[in-house]
Structure 1
Amino acid sequence: MPETSKYNRIVLKLSGEALAGDEGFGINPVVIKNIAEQVAGAKELGVEIAVIVGGGNIWRGKIGSDLGMDRGTADYMGMLATVMNSLALQDSLEQLGCETRVLTSIEMKQVAEPYIRRRAIRHLEKGRIVIFAAGIGNPYFSTDTTAALRAAEVEADVILMGKNNVDGVYSADPKFDSGAYKYDTLTYMEMLQENLQVMDATASSFCMDNDIPLVVFSITEDGNIKRAVSGETIGTFIKK
């Protein structure tokens, strides 16, 4: 029996660090090629895919702010980092024959289209992989919040959050706590009450209020994006 997608439309959230591989900084061509192949494989199931990539492999606004930089300036630099990552992912996907569009919240006509909700939905309906870049265009908001907002705007069925260093949500950091245990399912309220820091509180509250489910899983295992899209039980499932 051929594989099918559990969802009609998804938002895939990737951290910037997921593109860096073991180096921890910059864009690793081998890693981004692997991620692109996973996304292309999931697309074969017929699902509509929007992607949001962080910029932490290049720049983190909070670090600049902590060092005394104006927070707004530091955050805008972080948004530009997400554009670099988005263009790199677009190139990798198009080398695999996937039709893609990068939509940015900060206008830069020479490299990408401006984000317009109806345009984004139309691209998805036409089978294009849409990559949302530059956050929501305002400082003080994370790419987690961007994922939650864009998921609501394009009426996605779920947010798939790919992690490069963990395979789900744990009660504590398993690297430092041998007693940490993995959750198979959670509610957003439990996540907030236990301060599990899967995503920031703004994004978590937004997902809870708008009833957007979240799957947290490992991006480093080949085929996991496809497994998540097809509804296999992997990682941690978080719901209202």
Structure 2
Amino acid sequence: MNDTQWLVESTALVKRYGRVEALRGVDLRLGAGQIVGLVGPNGSGKSTFLKVVAGLLHPDGGSVKVRGRSPGLETKRWVAFQPEIDHLYRWMTVQQAMELQASVVGDWDARRAAELLEFLNLHQQRRTPVRNLSRGMRARLKLAMTLSRNAPIVLLDEPLSGIDPPSRGRIIRALIGQFRTDEQVVVLATHEVAETESTFDRVVFLERGTVKIDEDAQELRERYGKSIQAIMEEVYA
């Protein structure tokens, strides 16, 4: 794949919060056709990397390119970002939250949105205010809002956070079912590796803001002879 084909490319990326370097020279190239597991303990730089790609934070060193351009207003139309924090307006109903998202993005797929609401068991909650939803339902709503876009770059920050175990399999199936292999990259930042690693085509381990491992997921399992979860436990022991 040549340089013009990378959807996301970071080179010697640095991001600081005061004196703390959250990212320290991160080099990553992400192309279409992969679900990438971005894993590591809290404080490893996962969320910061996603926010820089999404254009919510500016690099303090190095560079990031999104389809060959620096993150900004123009690149936001190519990036669907689901933050870990609860960013929903609590006074809105589920339907109003979906309609607001549809009105501010240019790639909304109404048919997919309806299918996701039903698959994620939110279709009967359309008139329910967000403030009356459980934490797990709010997490499912955020995922539906993100996956209803046709963006080539999908960034999910801890999408299973707060979701009850019985619902997690449904979330993962929704993610796989909506993935468009020929035109899209999904970056899934998580420490819930045991439940999500079956989706990974590639896995990137971050540690203190640096890339520790970047490898094909199956090749990594074969090299270590164990699961990604077990490898993670060994690497970060």
TM-score, normalised to structure 1's length? Answer: 0.34
**Higher RCO by CA contacts (8 Å cutoff, separation 6 or greater):** 2
TM-score, normalised to structure 2's length? Answer: 0.35
Question: Which structure features the higher share of strand residues?
Answer: 2
